[in-house]
Amino acid sequence: FFFSSRRRHTRFKCDWSSDVCSSDLAEVTAAITDAGASITALDVVESYLDRIVIDVTCNAINEEHAEKIASAIEAHPELTVRKVSYRTFLIHLGGKIQIESKVPLKTRDDLSRAYTPGVARISQAIAANKSDARRLTIKRNTVAVVTDGSAVLGLGNIGPEAALPVMEGKAVLFKRFADVDAWPICLDTQDVDEIVRTVQILAPVYGGINLEDISAPRCFEVERRLRDLLDIPVFHDDQHGTAVVVLAALTNALKLVKKNLKDCKIVMSGVGAAGTAIARLLVASGAKNIIGYDKDGLVCDHKPGDDLVRTWFVDNCSPGSFKGDIHEAIKGADIFIGVSAPNILNEEDISAMAKDSIVFALANPDPEIDPSIARKYAKVVATGRSDQPNQINNVLAFPGIFRGLLDGRITKINDKMLIAAANAISSCVSDEQLNVNFIVPSVFDQTVVTKVAEAVKSLGKSNA
């Protein structure tokens, strides 16, 4: 908050300033405290004969609380709120990423080697052997983070400009956790042909393509076609990153409840990009009994116009003769996995699950069932939220996966690599550490990226 406080005793000039400032500061701090916030920093940033400007930083619960604090200050006639800023907005000012040179340019000799005339030799070498681009340019360590802005977080179809801060954030995570240089590519089109063609003609710059926040079913076709066209790996993180971390978490959760995946009844809410990818890895890992629901209900039959991904789900996760709703399906279930919408389940549903059940309610920010209610009955509960234990966070997967893909010069991704990545993540939680509130490692565990990268790279070499 930036508050402007008008001095009341305008007839005084200098002698009185410290006393009046103290009074005004007291009013500011009292107003903020009375509104239920705690002050973390306070500075007088400007001082004039008729007013002072105070820069106050305080903690607010949410935007509504921030508005309440501002109103409490405005209620004092001598105090004016000049501007309200949020720390999250402040760290985004000017963007979160930048380009830095890796080579010094201090002399004319430096310049002649980095640019003309010396750089011409590098261009000639690559022209003679295109594979040298990976060795002599940024291609060897660069990923394009591509979106059309059609399914950004839980915000929906908000467009490429609004998607840019999210893609920047993804680039920051790539760099921080795996030292991969990633760059956001936000496309002003939602036409499959245009997306595919655009990425295809941009691909020579990059060592990998990370597709992000493209709505289903379009995302499936975009990924499939790009994988066929390009000689670099194409990875749709909303599908495969989520699936990898879910499998890793479930592997450790099953250890705690002493159950085998092949014997478990699994109920899923959400059979879109993430849900189908999760089901694919679960089936590949031995799951036999998966019942899935989408916004139209039970997914059990083929429909006209079904894409290949939905067709796969119906063929491999059919509930047989069962035709009930999700509240009936959840009875006796060992595992619930939700990647859908808030409040799909209620307390009665969780209480009806099998003994030592597992609940992964991953809708974000509001899960399919309140975690505190789920924990009354389920043995292990995970969410997509950072303020709850067992957060299913894709950052555990994609940095290490791409590190391994780039280092191994791997051109195609398969399910075996994704399962290996999941096993690597789960192995970062030792038997001594494993408990109901710790089934996945911290995102800041330095061993995660190393283990995941090595697992992916090793499989890539064996498949070469």
- Is 48 an annotated catalytic residue? no
Alpha carbons 253 and 255: distance in angstroms, whole number: 5
Contact (CB, 8 A) for 52 and 85: no
Q: What angle do CA 452, 270, 424 make, to 5 degrees?
A: 10
Q: What is the CA radius of gyration of the chain?
A: 27
Long-range pairs of 314-322 with CB within 8 A, sequence gap ≥ 24: 316/279, 316/280, 316/283, 316/290, 317/279, 317/283, 317/290, 317/291, 317/292, 319/291, 322/291, 322/298
* Torsion angles phi and psi, residue 290, rounded to 5: -120, 130
Length of the chain measured in residues: 464
Alpha carbons 391 and 396: distance in angstroms, whole number: 10
Contact (CB, 8 A) for 333 and 267: yes
The three-state secondary structure class of 15 is coil
Q: Which residues pair with 79 in a beta bridge?
A: 5
Annotated catalytic residue: which of 96, 115, 262, 303? 115
- Is 170 an annotated catalytic residue? yes
- Of the candidates 358, 371, 425, the residue with the CA atom closest to the CA atom of residue 395: 425
* Torsion angles phi and psi, residue 169, rounded to 5: -60, -40
Distance, C-alpha 20 to centroid of its chain: 49
- Of the candidates 325, 326, 328, the residue with the CA atom closest to the CA atom of residue 337: 326
Alpha carbons 394 and 246: distance in angstroms, whole number: 9
Burial class (CB in 10 A: 0-12, 13-18, 19+), 330: buried
Give catalytic residues, as residue numbers.
115, 170
